[in-house]
Structure 1
């Protein structure tokens, strides 16, 4: 396969989807803003339910289990646990639909 009809690099096993191995500063900023937006929605819903004298199990569970953006360590904000990775962590931006899925909880010690 030499000469004129040589296979191109993607066909011979090169990178087809180029995902950087770390998040850029603007990506991190937008990620923090999304986390804060979720926190504000949870706080607003909780305040509205409290004013009406109602308690929702899901909202209470979120408040008790999930840390807020300010409480999260940078390691937990920008990376997630993955048992297939070498050091058990990979960038959160490599998760499909990472802007829609909550990755706030990771196993302790990793």
Structure 2
């Protein structure tokens, strides 16, 4: 297209919002704090229910299946399994709404 309204190279290619290929140290710090906050909530609820002598099936399942932040490998804290990715992993920050979703368990071996 010619004239005053022709597209420029910066407008014609690529995403408008670029996502860096790795997380910043502050993003990693906030991710660890979020994981610890979830662990703390699970423990608080478990202790409160134990005082009453009650249990929740879903809470017991969470405690059995999900590792705590201290037990997780850095690979699992900051990346997730993706079968389309080259090495079957991609940064967790590339997942939409990654601050709200729990991605603690990945397939073994990846």
Q: Partner residue of 2:109?
A: 109
* TM-aligned CA deviation for residue 9 of structure 1: 3.2
Gaps spanning 5+ residues in structure 1: where?
Answer: none
Q: How does 1:4-83 map to 2 (within 5 A)?
A: 4-83=4-83
Q: Hey, what's the Cα distance between the residues in 2 that align with 1:107 and 1:35?
A: 19
Gaps spanning 5+ residues in structure 2: where?
Answer: none
Given the two structures, how large is their TM-score scaled by the length of structure 2?
0.93
Q: Hey, what's the Cα distance between the residues in 2 that align with 1:9 and 1:84?
A: 29
* Secondary structure at the counterpart of residue 90 of structure 2: strand
Q: Partner residue of 2:94?
A: 94
* Secondary structure at the counterpart of residue 90 of structure 1: strand
Contact 1:10 1:16 in 2 (8 A): no
* TM-aligned CA deviation for residue 4 of structure 1: 5.0
Contact 1:36 1:69 in 2 (8 A): yes
* TM-aligned CA deviation for residue 80 of structure 1: 0.1
Q: Hey, what's the Cα distance between the residues in 2 that align with 1:77 and 1:107?
A: 14
Q: Hey, what's the Cα distance between the residues in 1 that align with 2:76 and 2:9?
A: 35
Q: Hey, what's the Cα distance between the residues in 1 that align with 2:21 and 2:65?
A: 29
* Count of paired positions: 110
